[in-house]
Amino acid sequence: KQEVTQIPAALSVPEGENLVLNCSFTDSAIYNLQWFRQDPGKGLTSLLLIQSSQREQTSGRLNASLDKSSGRSTLYIAASQPGDSATYLCAVAHLGQLTFGSGTQLTVLP
Amino acid sequence: GAVVSQHPSWVICKSGTSVKIECRSLDFQATTMFWYRQFPKQSLMLMATSNEGSKATYEQGVEKDKFLINHASLTLSTLTVTSAHPEDSSFYICSAPLFVNEQFFGPGTRLTVL
């Protein structure tokens, strides 16, 4: 059974800092990995999706990498802003289903 | 494109009543939809897979008689929480795949059972 772990569980950084969120998964037989953002009490916003054949994806200040063989992904956020404060979830897809990590709660201090 | 809506966005009900939550794919058809539950400070857990024209598939530990799922059309799935109790209070999110292995999520429904 696929298990997805995210560390750290919570992270607080000053505005402007670059940061890395980590995601690991136990079964490397995935179709893709996706990073989401969730604001308190809200649904999910898809940030980046990396297909299993890809190594990374970039969108603006966000860069996500995937090392399928080692079961790891990172989400890099450059020049963090208070508006980036949210919970970040990673999820891996296999056979049409998603397995989510427990998330990293990010707080960017002004 | 690929917009999924949910209704209602929040609901408060008394213990013992039933609550229906709708999930719609607005601009695409979905033969399959997924229902997730998220408790505070926890991640999303898949409850069941809704299949148009056939019975839903429930994850282990999810009571199918309590959480009734009906996939009435290619754009609508409903989740009914029957005889709701306070422990059913949670955030319920649905999703629908547009492409294989890429799901689009609804905004979620906050259920509070008093």
**Coil, strand, or helix at residue B79?**
strand
Please report the beta strands in chain A, taking only residues with DSSP state E, as ranges in sequence order.
4-7, 10-14, 19-25, 32-38, 44-51, 56-59, 62-67, 72-77, 86-94, 97-100, 104-109
Amino acid letter at A63?
A: N
Please name the residues between 44 and 103 in chain A that touch chain B, using a CB distance below 8 Å.
44, 46, 49, 89, 91, 93-94, 96-103
Average of per-residue pLDDT values in chain A = 95
B46, A97: Cβ pair inside 8 Å?
A: yes
Q: What percent of chain A has pLDDT over 90?
A: 92
B108, A43: Cβ pair inside 8 Å?
A: yes
Interval B2-41: pLDDT, tens: 899 999 999 999 999 999 999 999 999 999 999 999 998 8
Q: Which of A46, A91, A96 sits opposite B100 (nearest CB)?
A: A96
The per-residue pLDDT for B1 is 66
Q: What angle do CA A100, A103, B82 make, to 5 degrees?
A: 60
